[in-house]
Structure 1
Amino acid sequence: MGTSLTPIAARRIQSELKDWTNNPPEGFLLESCEPMTTWVIMMKGPETPPGAERLYDGKVFRLQVKFPDRYPMESPEVIFLSVAPIHPHIYSNGHICLDILYDNNDGGWSPALTVNKVCLSVRSMLASNTENSKPQGDAEYVARVGSKSPKATRWVFHDDRV
């Protein structure tokens, strides 16, 4: 990734970086963008509504975004760096089961999406969670895929409740 960016990808990443710098999404801080094709983003855990279990309040998580050579026609790779939040759609190795992060025929990634919008979607996913649990089969998945790209996984998106 990032070795032969198309001119479109390079312009788009630079444009998104400028937009982020001028108007960062609330609760996020761009920790690094060197090289330009790999961003590390700090994310404040969303506040819990009154009466709900406090799953992420006061916690800080780190996301890594790797841009492919054909971005935005191809989705970026987005993972949590350790330690990943405990969530039914986030594996212990940081892989996130969220349809907009993947190129698929059932909706999923769109070139109209930006890193800003992706970050807000991930934070919204955490904010709507009520279960303090890891995904079913977490240990087996992590043992099988290890540190391979989550984009190599064939995800099945069937649960939009959390």
Structure 2
Amino acid sequence: MASISARRLSKELSEIRSEGCPVGINLVQADDFATWLFTIEVMGESLYQGEVHTLQFRFDTSYPISSPAVQFVVTDGKQAPVHPHVYSNGHICASILGNEWSPVLSVVAVCVTLQSMLASCKKKERPVDNDRYVRNAPDNPKKTRFHYDDDTV
């Protein structure tokens, strides 16, 4: 019998493949129910106009009861967007990935939220504690207990 996680991810993937994603969001890879990759681009005028960033979703067997581990992909040639809630290692401080996660949220809904977070940003800068956080950060951003106190950027 398939796990709840596998059934839910199968349903989400089927919907993405049949209905497509919202404008600016593209499925890049979903070979299994462990890791998916999407690109997101902010549409319209914003500080991030023309930038395309890759998001990695990692799922455990508790999805959708627990949130996926979501981060921007950082490689030699690609950096995470410069944003007050995005660390240079790609980790994202967003309450919907932590204490405000809800099983009704989908992978596409997370992409849209992060796309909106970038679109509404007024100033490109790293979080104030970026260097310290990146030095000590776990591989999995879900293991970080972020403090959510600023939703105005």
TM-score by length of 1: 0.87
Match of 1:37 in 2: 34
Between the aligned partners of 1:35 and 1:113, the Cα distance in structure 2 is: 20
What are the superposed Cα offsets for residues 103-146 of structure 1, whole Å, 9 maximum, x if unpaired? x2xxx10000000110000000001100111000101110111x
Match of 1:51 in 2: none
Q: Give me the identity figure in percent.
A: 41
Aligned twin of 2:62: 70
Partner of 1:9: 5
1:117 aligns with 2:113: no
- Report how many aligned residue pairs link the two structures: 148
- Asked if the contact 1:61/1:80 (under 8 Å) is kept, the reply is yes
User: What residue ranges of structure 2 are gaps of 5+ in the alignment?
Assistant: none
- Contact between 2:23 and 2:43, CA under 8 Å: does it hold in 1? no
Partner of 2:134: 142
TM-score (norm 2): 0.91
Runs (4+) off by over 4 Å: none
Does residue 127 (structure 1) correspond to residue 119 (structure 2)? The answer is yes
- Select 2:96's aligned residue among 77, 87, 100: 100
Change (3 A) 1:6 1:72: farther
Q: Which runs of 5+ in 1 are unaligned?
A: 49-53
CA RMSD of aligned residues (A): 1.5
